[in-house]
């Protein structure tokens, strides 16, 4: 057990450095950041249009929703590159070669996890620059709760990255991994978005079929509440909305526990299945 989870820090460092700089030198990171910010810009533009039309809008954090959209796009990108890199290394036999050396399952997966988290920190820098610019251009407030939301997003990404590592440890083919990952994440996201949309509508505004759908989604959301990485972000965002530092801290803790459980499970699965899958 000890050897299974022991990893040489210099090996992990070397793997992180290799993967991190390789991704940093490619175009994917910048392109996904651009696409995520472009989506945010569209949302913000329609938001400003609504203020212009109604002359008034009362909102606590108008930048939080655009941040959420950017975050979803970026986290999908990180999850997919993580899955691709593991599956490709499995397919091409690189993983097997690495495992003949000082690399073991835990150091390999931890390195992948750290690399993705570092890439997200680069994205966080982009978010700070972008939202500061948006705030000064539009006068939409760059509030303390936006800073808290950005900080919280690091833990959501941690959940998604560990989830993607878990999926890639379960599957051996790249295509299967991507299909499973994207399918599950999209399903989780769709459940959360539709549920939030229906919950935000007044009961009187819903037809009976939508009411049944809302109830069904309520039950499904309860079921996926501890499995879906997005529900961890949702919990954190709610704690920000009510200004509860205790709940905010708890949601961070839950995310860390979730990530830890999935990482350990991934290591165990990879160990059990072997490098050839």
Partner 1 sequence: MRKFSLFFTLILALLLGALTSPSLAQASPFREQLVYSLNLFNGKTYAPGFCPRSEDTIYLIANENNAVSPRITLVYFWPITARYMAGFKTLNEEIEGTLELLKDGKVIRSLEKEDNVVFYPEGFFAENSRMYLDEEAHAFLQKYEKATKDYYKRIDEYYEKMREYRDAFNKFLEDLSKRREAGEELSRAQVEAEMPRQPGSPEGVRFYTTPLAKNYILNLPQGTYQIRLRARDGTIVQDSQKNLVAFVQRRGGTIGYEITPGNRWTMKESSNDPSKTIYAAGKNTLYLRPFLQDEYNDLYYKKLLDPQNEGTPERWMWVHTTPIENVLVVLLSKGKLLESIKRAPYYVKQIPGPELGYEILEYSEEEFAGRSPSFEGHKLEVSSVSGKGNYEFHLEKREGEVLKGSEREILFVKKENTNLLHVISIFPLIVGLVVFVQRKRSIS
Q: Which of residues 128-147 bind partner 1 (CB under 8 A)?
A: 129-130, 133-134, 137-141, 143, 145
Q: Are 232 and 255 in contact (CB under 8 A)?
A: yes
Q: Say which residues have a Cβ less than 8 Å from residue 143's Cβ, sequence separation at least 6.
A: 60, 61, 63
Which is closer to partner 1, CB of 1 or CB of 204? 204
226 lies in the binding site for partner 1 (CB under 8 A): no
The residue length of the chain stands at: 277
Q: Which of residues 143-182 bind partner 1 (CB under 8 A)?
A: 143, 145
Distance, CA of 244 to chain centre: 23
Q: Which of residues 38-97 bind partner 1 (CB under 8 A)?
A: 38, 40-42, 44-45, 48-49, 51-52, 54-62
Which is closer to partner 1, CB of 6 or CB of 132? 132
Which is closer to partner 1, CB of 150 or CB of 178? 150
**Cα–Cα dist 178/167, whole Å:** 9
Which is closer to partner 1, CB of 32 or CB of 105? 32
Which is closer to partner 1, CB of 19 or CB of 61? 61
30 lies in the binding site for partner 1 (CB under 8 A): yes
207 lies in the binding site for partner 1 (CB under 8 A): no
> Rounded to 10 degrees, what is the CA torsion of 125, 57, 240, 186?
-70
- Give me the least distance between CB of 259 and partner 1, in Å please: 24
Which is closer to partner 1, CB of 174 or CB of 240? 240
Q: Is the dihedral of CA 257, 37, 120, 149 positive or negative?
A: negative
Q: Say which residues have a Cβ less than 8 Å from residue 21's Cβ, sequence separation at least 6.
A: none
Among 195, 174, 157, which residue's Cα sits nearest to residue 70?
157
Q: Which helix (H) or strand (E) holds 61?
A: none
- Give me the least distance between CB of 19 and partner 1, in Å please: 16
Q: What is the DSSP letter of 93?
A: T
Can you give the binding site for partner 1, defined by CB under 8 A?
Answer: 24-25, 27, 29-31, 33-34, 37-38, 40-42, 44-45, 48-49, 51-52, 54-62, 126, 129-130, 133-134, 137-141, 143, 145, 199-200, 203, 211, 214, 218, 221, 241-243
């Amino acid at each position: 057990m000890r050897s299974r989870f022991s990893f040489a820090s210099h090996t992990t460092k070397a793997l992180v450095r290799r993967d991190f700089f390789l991704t940093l030198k490619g175009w994917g990171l910048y392109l996904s950041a651009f696409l995520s910010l472009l989506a945010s810009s569209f949302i913000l533009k329609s938001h400003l249009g609504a203020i212009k039309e109604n002359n008034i809008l009362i909102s606590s954090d108008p930048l939080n929703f655009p941040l959420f959209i950017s975050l979803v796009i970026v986290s999908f990108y990180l999850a997919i590159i993580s899955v691709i890199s593991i599956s490709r290394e499995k397919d091409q036999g690189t993983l097997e070669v690495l495992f003949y050396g000082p690399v073991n399952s835990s150091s390999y997966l931890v390195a992948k996890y750290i690399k993705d988290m570092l890439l997200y920190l680069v994205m966080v820098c982009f978010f700070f620059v972008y939202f500061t610019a948006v705030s000064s251009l539009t006068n939409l407030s760059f509030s303390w709760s936006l800073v808290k939301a950005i900080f919280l997003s690091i833990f959501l990404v941690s959940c998604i990255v560990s989830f993607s590592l878990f999926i890639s440890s379960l599957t051996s083919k790249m295509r299967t991994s991507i299909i499973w990952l994207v399918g599950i994440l999209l399903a989780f996201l769709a459940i959360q978005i539709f549920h939030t949309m229906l919950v935000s509508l007044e009961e009187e505004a819903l037809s009976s079929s939508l009411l049944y759908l809302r109830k069904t989604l309520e039950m499904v959301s309860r079921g996926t509440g501890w499995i879906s990485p997005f529900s961890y972000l949702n919990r954190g965002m709610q704690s920000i909305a009510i200004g509860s530092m205790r709940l905010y801290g708890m949601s961070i803790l839950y995310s860390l526990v979730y990530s830890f459980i999935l990482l350990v499970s991934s290591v165990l699965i990879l160990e059990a299945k072997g490098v050839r899958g």
